[in-house]
Structure 1
């Protein structure tokens, strides 16, 4: 085993925790190093069984076998793909929505063959690996291109597809349409469109896409908001708990965990248009962006402390759309309000 392959394989194996390492990753090379021999060697060395110790001992045993460099080079991308599947939140994913009806999802080998075939038909030369883990298709694609009589290999592209769901998630973000269409065809769909959504948590992205487009509309004031709670200190008119519950009921169970939530509105009328005739024909655009670890929890906290009025505006109810911490106002077609006049209907 040459030093380059050894370094890459060692680095790829160190992505996993101890349980996944022993149960899923190392069995890929069980023809060369068995689990029993590995554990026996660790006990013989009297080492603490950490992930790094397991990998180091495993690599020492593997170097003593007759494994070829070609076999190691074949295993490395598979291990790297399994590492992405094991901890996908380390990468940023961009969502695409697939269009069309699929009769039946393909198996790993069938999907891999279909992708390779469609790539060749579109004159795309690439190595493709497909694995099904945790009810997702995980795809690793490395594009090859001949530049000045030299073979240039691009950085790996990773694709995640929830089985039975019409969405594809790409990492990194920059992927050409001519590259995405063969993948769409391979999965049995007709077309695709950019979903304008990216993030690190694939499950939350899927929830967001499934809920996108739901029109919950405006909600009326719940009866609980009119109640005044009796506490040991007297009557509580703040209704903090009721306001928080109100937002929680709107969001529903297990809402998407969003860290970057953008809200946009266009052609909004000015609040002062009724008293100022010059403002009646003027409108403005609004863009708000919330950046936090969990936007839903932040909105609950804002409602509880009074920073967000209850009932909330429609963009909170829908939790859909697109949003900066600062509100920037732009008047359509001419002069409008100054910084001291930014009263709006929004």
Structure 2
């Protein structure tokens, strides 16, 4: 269904229309389609809804003001929740969506019944930080932002490339990075979802800015990847909210995207010698940072799924749905 608010029109994938609302929020370069099976698997007593974030799927490609961090997305969710008259939602956020639901939780704690994080982005954004406290490597956030993405991947995404002819094709990125094991049923379905990403400077990836420091890129002011930069998105005060809904953190042990040694982190790639000229900048310890923030928050549980990558809800659906359903019931 489509829901129009003052901010934009959002597409929402739905299941049954009664029960406690469970709002699923997808990750970067994907859409609500990645939650298809989770929406279908939710038991009676729950009302599943999976939203397309702005610039993804069938929602409007409104510009992303990166200087607000992820608040454009979380404010969209707040209007959606209000428009549908949802009372105290369960939030489920994957990757980028994990950051979005944490931003929503920080701003609207009383509106949240529970939170489930699935391989979420660090509360200190993506790239440009060091240590468990998320300190900036450089004041301008060098190492993060739209300039850190692969230009060939962006070009192929914009062209709607369904092939597997290049390591940077969306299909091969799905196989090598979204999943640990590439033999996923309905692969075409998920790749088509990736291709709904609106490629533009104001959406994905954003405006690229240069920096005099290695690796030569810094966050811009518009677009998805810049909204994830640590100069714009930081949640080190999550423990201050009241009330504190319970948080379940599910992650694949072998995730190569959100990791303490992420293959998408320029600092770690520099240490591996993939990006030349590295001065030895430490990798961003993304998992460690998330754990540090949740330890301060207090009311959370971490579950690690072995032999699983970035997408537990697709790679290990039975385990994921069992954990989610139990968490919803406990909440």
Length-normalised TM-score, structure 2:
0.22
Computing the radius of gyration from Cα coordinates, the structure with the larger value is: 1
Which structure has greater strand proportion? 1
Which structure has greater helix proportion? 1
Higher RCO, Cα 8 Å, sep 6+? 2
